[in-house]
Amino acid sequence: MTKTSILLVDDDANLRAGLKELFEQTDFAGDIYEAADGLEAISLQSRYSPCLILLDVGMPVMDGIEACRLLKERRSDLKIIMLTSHDDERDIFAALAAGANGYCLKDADFSRLETAVNAVMCGDLWIDSSIAKKVLCALPKSRSTVSQKKAMYAELSDRETQVLQLIVDGLSNQEISEHLEISKETVKTHIKHLMDKLAVSDRTQAAVKALRYGLVSNQEP
């Protein structure tokens, strides 16, 4: 199994230490490095070339958004997740515009952060469910008619709609498997089918489209 080298960037040393300890207990984490600000993050990335960077937004010397932009200019394939307490729309869109692959809140359970890391490392965009709703609200309202929505409903099977709801609720494939009492491979098959029907390429796009068109309920996980 290929290990993922990680750089933790936050001006809170206690937070970095706590995250490092948690990641060290996972199967996927390799070398773990630490930086206290964006400028130090750029220096360490050049020196150690970590696969993944967890980056705070508000830091001294250089903030996370500027650091994200500069890091992506140097290495476009670098995976960056903003891990922050900032849920302001301006910070969210600025981070995504800078090239961030994910946006997670610090108060999320570590299991959800693990899910975010796995999703991002597989090439998906990950946005925390509470953040996704802010992004959705800021998007232009759909002009689709009721008949168009019903047509989209008709294309999804009952099981695919169930799976889609659980994706919107923020559950991982394993959690969906346990919740519906079906195999993980069956979950993956349902997700592939519903993404094909919704004409999207990843879970986040499926969730956003589902909420925009009213295909599932907009509720907290």
Lookup: tokens for 77: 């394939």
- Residue-by-residue DSSP string for 134-159: HHHHHSPPP---HHHHHHHHHHS-HH
What's the average model confidence in pLDDT over 163-170? 86
Same domain as 153, residue 118: no
Whether 61 is covered by a domain: the verdict is yes
Give 69-86 pLDDT, tens digit per residue. 999 999 989 999 999 888
pLDDT computed for residue 155 by the predictor: 76
Burial (CB count <10 Å: 0-12, 13-18, 19+), residue 2: exposed
d(CA 122, CA 115): 11
Rounded alpha-carbon distances, angstroms, from residue 144 to 37, 141, 148, 195, 219: 45, 9, 6, 19, 22
Whether 220 is covered by a domain: the verdict is no
| Helix (H/G/I), strand (E/B), else coil: 31 | strand
Which residues have C-beta within 8 Å of that of residue 63, sequence separation ≥ 6? Answer: 38, 57
- The H or E element spanning position 8 is strand 4-9
Same domain as 169, residue 80: no
Burial (CB count <10 Å: 0-12, 13-18, 19+), residue 44: middle
pLDDT band at 28 (very low <50, low <70, confident <90, very high): very high
> What end-to-end distance do the CA atoms of the chain give, in Å?
31
The CATH number linked to 158 is: 1.10.10.10
The CATH number linked to 105 is: 3.40.50.2300
pLDDT computed for residue 220 by the predictor: 46
pLDDT computed for residue 93 by the predictor: 81
**pTM of the predicted model, to two decimals?**
0.64
Same domain as 188, residue 116: no
Domain housing 110: 4-128
pLDDT band at 125 (very low <50, low <70, confident <90, very high): confident
d(CA 72, CA 100): 8
For the ranges 51-55, 146-150, 153-157, 190-194, which has the lowest average pLDDT?
146-150
| Helix (H/G/I), strand (E/B), else coil: 126 | strand
Rg (CA), the chain: 18
pLDDT computed for residue 154 by the predictor: 56
pLDDT band at 122 (very low <50, low <70, confident <90, very high): confident
Q: How many domains are there within the chain? A: 2
pLDDT computed for residue 94 by the predictor: 84
Same domain as 199, residue 91: no
| Helix (H/G/I), strand (E/B), else coil: 60 | coil
What's the average model confidence in pLDDT over 201-215? 76
Same domain as 152, residue 123: no
Same domain as 99, residue 19: yes
Same domain as 157, residue 118: no
pLDDT band at 171 (very low <50, low <70, confident <90, very high): confident
Residue 137, CB-side half-sphere exposure with 13 Å CA sphere? 10
Same domain as 67, residue 160: no
Longest dimension (CA), the chain: 56
Same domain as 155, residue 46: no
Bigger pLDDT: 93 vs 174: 174
d(CA 63, CA 125): 21
pLDDT computed for residue 138 by the predictor: 59
Last residue of a domain, one of 71, 96, 128: 128
Give 140-150 pLDDT, tens digit per residue. 544 444 455 54
Whether 97 is covered by a domain: the verdict is yes
